Structure 1
């Protein structure tokens, strides 16, 4: 180990667990990452043609790309990776040929003919050819048009060249242009990566420590982990920068626990100040707006007034009046045990007497009208009675949900768990009205909880339920073992309300 990394040996590590460069050899898969990885690999192997991968800076696009290439290497996939996207037009095509091991003839038509023959030869041998262009947000419109022409290289049955464009969100904006609609229409799969939530960060740090030789002595405390998430919003590159500083701090004091003071110091040390230097007057500070405890000032002015945010927090803390309180999801009448088809999130009254499914996403969940003094079931009795008019909702918990949240759900006073044929079921009482996702304040409640969970940025709390909020909910649902429908079902709402607002 080099002298500059001698502090790692002091900590019992054989290498830096938080390098500044992509580390595809020790790849940490969250449920979301694994899903995107598997789907991208499937699209490439089944020769669907054109895929898109987008994410913010530092989110791990390049690492995923390299991991994907390594995974496909032994599956008759021949890959070319182009990362110098400041090359445009003919130069870009020449770079593509070069990475496939071909010589450029210097003209567009000749090079496309050379590439086409190369692809046909490999297709006859049963091989799949993959072109990956990283940092594709730098491509010009004319270069993207070239990509479209390469998409047209095909047989009667399938595409000869599989193309994966990886880039920052600006790439999505470029492809949304009317002039590029033909290329956009060819996208078979679009994967978006997002930051880790606080639970995933804790697992990620342990994974990185273990992969670097830690014997279990190095520990990241929970409050320090929470602060790390707040600072980085789960962006892996920023996590690496800060934790690398933490390792220096641990080695300096011969410690093994990353606690809150060390995390604060590491965050402060890692910040880059690009403000004015000496001789330049400092800007006048803006008036300080005081936010309620637990509500970031960044939320104020993000579409909700301060009063609206305060009201949303009050609602989530159980001090709201009935018309705007969190309720169960829409109840849907069904015949027999079949699961209802998907319904949009909206406020719907539940039938008074029929057996109902708590949510289209809650497979196996059933709900029945419940009197205030009626027990949930023969083997499940809550500590407190549900208010009159609530309905009983019972749902089996997935293995992941049980592992992550089972003990906490079992401690709820107005819920109970029981084992039925080896499967843990949760039973609770819910208001028979659906979530009013068309109401700004009710929507803000869900968004606040999702931001506390870590799948939605605080500045996105605006009381409007759109695609960004739906993706954040899907990430949350995947992370806790629920079906990622993007609809606020009964169990999703219960977990968000009880664990990601009130306890904070």
Structure 2
């Protein structure tokens, strides 16, 4: 059975939904900041940086950049991706071993687990391969776990790099690593980048790009509508997608083939856009601007 989402694709003359929240490489949009973040990740890998740090708000595109990097790595690199970083240092080590496809018996002691981990790194090094451990959502690591992560880099010996670490997380991760008691970890961060929110011009280009990929032959969102999308989403790609998708559904239900600022205001006023947990209010001035349809906001 066709849904309103399927129908709105046909209604706007598109080939698919342009603002789905599901990651799709075909819609990949590289802002200047995402290019720089990728460059720093690549720099960290190429120069054998002990620790590379990438941060950004939820939905800023960190994972997109990360998976783009993974697609470029050759057979001489083995990657362990750790997304569950809760627990004490023993549990963290078990997650690491499992990410590397290594056994981590429940009854094994910490010493046994560490010996297995170190032995695996040496085996990979002897085979001409480096190991990269990527900790996604690393802001969830406890201080004890961060200290354990730092200890991993001690396995490296002079020019011989057995393991590299990539920490990816939300902005508070940078604050954690900058604390006075984390100075030893901070000193091992050789490459880092923070992905900021998109500015207004970038959001305009982002929306146009996704519509174009989805088959739009002409602009669907008015410029004032995109201005408000930027303000309400704070320039975070995932929130831009969500708000634009809602706005297109609303325009479809009103039989309007263009999304006006007034339509975006209706979405915000109805409270269907959660805005990453922040309250969004439309100011009287914004409503006044949105109502000026004679200025081309149709």
Normalising by structure 1, we get a TM-score of 0.51
| 1:144 aligned onto 2:146 | yes
Residue-by-residue CA offset, 1:105-144 (whole Å, 9 max, x unaligned): 4222222222222222222333232111111111111101
Distance in 2 (alpha carbons) for counterparts of 1:190 and 1:80: 20
Distance in 2 (alpha carbons) for counterparts of 1:246 and 1:223: 13
| 1:98 aligned onto 2:104 | no
| Pair 1:263–1:18, CA change in 2 (3 A) | same
CA apart distance, 1:241:
1.4
Distance in 2 (alpha carbons) for counterparts of 1:4 and 1:107: 55
The answer for unaligned runs of 5 or more in structure 1 is: 276-292, 295-504
Question: 2:167 is matched with which residue?
Answer: 165
| Pair 1:166–1:260, CA change in 2 (3 A) | same
Contact 2:38–2:66, Cα closer than 8 Å, also in 1: no
Distance in 2 (alpha carbons) for counterparts of 1:254 and 1:78: 52
Question: 2:193 is matched with which residue?
Answer: 191
Distance in 1 (alpha carbons) for counterparts of 2:142 and 2:174: 13
Contact 1:80–1:100, Cα closer than 8 Å, also in 2: yes
Contact 1:45–1:128, Cα closer than 8 Å, also in 2: no
Question: 1:62 is matched with which residue?
Answer: 63
Larger radius of gyration: 1
**Correspondence list, 1:64-463, <5 A:** 64-72=65-73, 74=74, 76-105=76-105, 106-212=108-214, 214-269=215-270, 270-272=272-274
| Pair 1:129–1:2, CA change in 2 (3 A) | farther
CA apart distance, 1:2:
6.0
The answer for unaligned runs of 5 or more in structure 2 is: 279-284, 287-298
Distance in 2 (alpha carbons) for counterparts of 1:78 and 1:22: 24
Distance in 1 (alpha carbons) for counterparts of 2:72 and 2:4: 33
Aligned residue-pair number: 276
Normalising by structure 2, we get a TM-score of 0.83
Contact 2:60–2:197, Cα closer than 8 Å, also in 1: yes
Contact 1:224–1:259, Cα closer than 8 Å, also in 2: yes
Contact 2:251–2:257, Cα closer than 8 Å, also in 1: yes
Contact 1:88–1:139, Cα closer than 8 Å, also in 2: no
CA apart distance, 1:88:
3.2
Distance in 2 (alpha carbons) for counterparts of 1:92 and 1:24: 31
Higher relative contact order (CA 8 A, sep 6+): 2
Distance in 2 (alpha carbons) for counterparts of 1:271 and 1:249: 12
| Pair 1:151–1:15, CA change in 2 (3 A) | farther
| Pair 1:142–1:2, CA change in 2 (3 A) | farther
| Pair 1:166–1:218, CA change in 2 (3 A) | same
Contact 1:24–1:66, Cα closer than 8 Å, also in 2: no
Distance in 1 (alpha carbons) for counterparts of 2:150 and 2:225: 47
Contact 2:118–2:155, Cα closer than 8 Å, also in 1: yes
- Secondary structure of the structure 2 residue equivalent to 1:195: coil
CA apart distance, 1:4:
5.8
| Pair 1:261–1:177, CA change in 2 (3 A) | same
Contact 2:41–2:191, Cα closer than 8 Å, also in 1: yes
Question: 2:39 is matched with which residue?
Answer: 38
Contact 1:8–1:247, Cα closer than 8 Å, also in 2: no
